[in-house]
Amino acid sequence: MNFRGGLPTLILQNLSRGPNHGYRIAQEIKQKSKGVLDFKEGTLYPALHGLEGKGFIASQTRVENGRTRCYYELTEKGKKTLARDRQEWRRVSGAFNLILKEAM
Amino acid sequence: MSGLGTNHVQSLAEWLEIATADLCVAAKERIRLEIEAHFADSMEIHQANSCSEADAQTAALAELGDASAAAKRFRNRHLTEKEAKRVVQMLKCAGGSDWLLISYSLYGLFYFYFFEVLKWYQAPLVFPIVALFLCLVFHTIGFFVARHKRSESGIRFVLLTPILPVGWLTLFSIWVGIWGHWTLLFAMMPGLTIILVRDLRLWFKLGRLDTLWPKMPSRGAPAP
């Protein structure tokens, strides 16, 4: 099953807890999903830039231990999108559960 | 997901070269900084888990995924070098009074040619006159916007100035074709369609970039 379409929502959810940078976002998604959702960085960064392009997140560059990091944070537009995505996910996953339960 | 695509690159530099190929300088630099920091973090973790430097590098490279697939995604999210140059060139042209005068002259030339053709075929003139008037108005507004309003919405408006006349010429060719002048329609349509599709793609892409294109180049500045 292809979950790549859900990556933007997972990123927005991660950033709802505060600003974060790409590496930590990837690690936290992987850890929280117990290794099931392990997105390649070549997928993560285009998704981050896409969300920034749409104005859902904003970026800020900081230098930490000699490394230039780009921190992302949720914008008001992003918060509204996340709320809508959560609602949509509940609706769709509820429908999936109903169908899959019937098959078991 | 893990295992998507194959990764044959040997070093981070090679991965970055493939993933950022064709992108404009500003986008290349931004991606390079982010991926380098990410790669260093990843290597640190692998080395902390008692991997040798070589093994840590191989693992970190594998985590980056397929460079060619990443390049395709990055090209959808950022301006390519060609597109950035085109935006700057369009702004420069739209804001130049000499270019405005050339455009007016071209409009005049097309006006006489097309209207003579339409009169010959006894086609109605209202639609082309309105379209031509709108093009002239947009072109003039575009001239002032390019000179004074260098925001993201400003760029998109300026980009409309070459799109509208090309669109107008396309519709005009179809209109003339409908009234019987097929030669003109077939002679003009291929070229016009290519230009129209290219400019419209750039226009929509700039709309998607939104906050990734906040810094307008000052007049006469090189491409970003």
pLDDT of residue B6: 47
Is pTM beyond 0.80? Reply is: no
Structure tokens at B44: 């640190």
What would the pLDDT profile of A75-86 be if each residue is shown by its tens digit?
A: 999 999 999 999
Asked if the C-beta of A56 comes within 8 angstroms of chain B's C-beta atoms, the answer is no
Of B33, B35, B208, the CB nearest to A41: B35
Instruction: Return the closest-CA partner of residue A19 out of A56, A63, A55, A73.
Output: A73
- Indicate which CATH number applies to the domain containing A8: 1.10.10.10
Structure tokens at B82: 């060609």
What would the pLDDT profile of A51-65 be if each residue is shown by its tens digit?
A: 988 889 998 888 887
User: Does residue A25 register a pLDDT over 90?
Assistant: yes
Task: List all residues 6 or more positions away from B65 whose beta carbon is below 8 Å from its beta carbon.
Answer: A40, A41, A42, A43, B4, B5, B7
pLDDT of residue B18: 94
Asked if the C-beta of A38 comes within 8 angstroms of chain B's C-beta atoms, the answer is yes
Establish, for the pair of chains A and B, how many residue pairs have beta carbons separated by less than 8 Å. Answer: 90
Instruction: Note down pLDDT in tens along chain B; length 224 residues.
Output: 444 444 578 899 999 999 999 898 888 988 998 999 999 989 998 998 888 888 999 999 988 888 999 999 999 888 888 888 888 888 888 888 888 888 888 888 877 777 777 777 776 777 777 777 888 888 888 888 888 766 667 777 888 877 877 877 777 777 777 777 777 677 777 888 888 888 888 888 877 665 444 344 444 444 44
Domain count, chain A: 1
Asked if the C-beta of A37 comes within 8 angstroms of chain B's C-beta atoms, the answer is yes
Of B37, B209, B211, the CB nearest to A67: B37
Contact A75, A56 (CB under 8 A): yes
Asked if the C-beta of B33 comes within 8 angstroms of chain A's C-beta atoms, the answer is yes
Of B4, B33, B76, the CB nearest to A40: B4
pLDDT of residue A103: 64
User: Which B-chain residues 70-89 have CB contacts (< 8 A) with chain A?
Assistant: 70, 73-74, 76-78
Q: Give the integer Cα–Cα distance in Å for B64 and B66.
A: 7
Largest CA distance in chain B: 84
